[in-house]
Structure 1
């Protein structure tokens, strides 16, 4: 009887150990999708979902940077990483449908790129860690309630440092004395665009410069809105407004044809033909979020314990070719404000 009792106790102990080995994926611990490296030396395998609001250079570069950070950490798409990528094509109904689909499956991590996908994913997905990128104001969007200690299963990186907007408006006021009004094309249905426009307006007010708005509801209206600012504005400006950025070539065309200095909130738009911004590379922004993902996937860190970050490598970025198209004389004083002249004065 003693022997039988001993064997029974051992069996209970083994069952207890096996039971403790099962973990959940709420906020950072590995789910059943992530297979830990075993005695065979096989790599852990991961499954992530990416929801992106629309295709344009900044958001695409964010996604590419994110995946590059994973690759550098040995998490490689097509090898030990499965990526389920969805693009809402700017449609809010699609956006919510994508979030609901993600919520119905099991992922080791979910990445939401831009404000609307982040809002939808946070609302729907409760069983996977969530990181967001390219979100202008996570607090205003109610994606998180605390930037230093988000809590729950959500964290990420904002793509807006308010200092960048104020510095750009200071650049406009300091170098363009004839500019008394700045026109902005804006979809006021995008919270991120509204927040950034308000910041720009307050910064311009300090210099006695007025901001004039031309509203749009979709990309097909952007060209007409930009044209409506001709004669009403001395310069043009756009925020990280997904609706407007998607049709930014039409704004560039209007600026070039009417010799209007055109300022943007992102480097990618300057590379396409805006004259100047104070900004950063969206690839770097995505890479930063990717490093957070590595901490979650490989190190078991909980996203709710990770501080929401903002871009910290800000610099003035100038496009000399765009300057010529828009009738701008680029002075030495302008160039001196560029810290990294080799990479941020585009020729």
Structure 2
């Protein structure tokens, strides 16, 4: 896999690699031949959740008969959290000979959808693809774009605040003001918090560098972090703030809990990526049309608790919650 190539060279490199590909392929488990293909991947920023989605995507391709170095060439580009870079990557992919392109996270997916019109575009780690302007509807996307959504059970996540700290009266939410997916989750979180009798205090950031100051400024009984790319990239600063304030930190997905957040009722990004890879196989091998493929979601979420984080944040996890957990990180 090529990683972090200079953006200006992306299209040229992909074309040169593709030149060496013949018409041969290999047989997959379903007996159909998987011909040699090149897939471009635009990832908005590097952090464990999006990295897991990319790794799962590659696994999904492999399970469908496409193996990197054999009949699959990957051109992986990273925007490093910069929208202008994501736009440039998309422009290069538009002029490349890639057979399919993938956008990981809403900003990268939006850039690809706007720039690439003559080849299949898939997305993953996108909260609301309709609101983001990627598809006409989740059931009937239309055009050349489809993929998987990472919309979380936000209300269930907010309920964890009082389950872990019954005396809580307020929750701080930190998110990027420029991410559509985050605003959607925050709106849901505010509704859920009201139902729980929790006052919401919002802090917005424009860059990952601002996360630490925003987290330290909270004077609330808990902190909630949605699946916001810029905040999750700087999650350690939020964890540190929660530990110093001795308040629970609730996250939007499992990777953040593994890193040190206290709890989530969330999805698995590697599984979501693998699901997206299976969609790519249907397009590349079976000729499926993205516009006719419904946007998919992960149906099963998991309750994940971090016992070490609970101790560091001065929170005692109720036994009843432990008993319901799918995973407890000790």
Deviation at 1:310, TM superposition (A): 1.6
Select 2:176's aligned residue among 181, 187, 190: 187
Equivalent position of 2:293 in the other structure? 306
Select 1:44's aligned residue among 11, 15, 35: 35
| Aligned mates of 2:33, 2:157 — CA distance in 1 | 50
Moved over 4 A (4+): 31-34
Taking the TM superposition and a 5 Å limit, the aligned residue runs for 1:99-248 are 99-161=90-152, 164-229=153-218, 232-248=219-235
Deviation at 1:303, TM superposition (A): 1.1
Equivalent position of 1:97 in the other structure? 88
> What is the aligned length?
307
CA offset digits 1:214-265 (Å, max 9, x no partner): 1211111111100100xx2100111111111111001101111121100010
Select 2:263's aligned residue among 276, 283, 295: 276
Deviation at 1:34, TM superposition (A): 8.3
Deviation at 1:273, TM superposition (A): 0.3
Taking the TM superposition and a 5 Å limit, the aligned residue runs for 1:318-337 are 318-337=305-324
Question: Is residue 290 of structure 1 aligned with residue 299 of structure 2?
Answer: no
Normalization by structure 1: what TM-score?
A: 0.85
| Aligned mates of 2:229, 2:112 — CA distance in 1 | 18
Structure 1 unaligned residues grouped into runs of 5+: 1-30
Moved more, 271-280 or 310-319: 310-319
Moved more, 329-338 or 274-283: 329-338
Which structure has the larger Rg?
1
Equivalent position of 1:27 in the other structure? none
Equivalent position of 1:18 in the other structure? none
Task: Choose between structure 1 and 2: higher strand proportion.
Answer: 2
Equivalent position of 2:64 in the other structure? 73
Normalization by structure 2: what TM-score?
A: 0.89
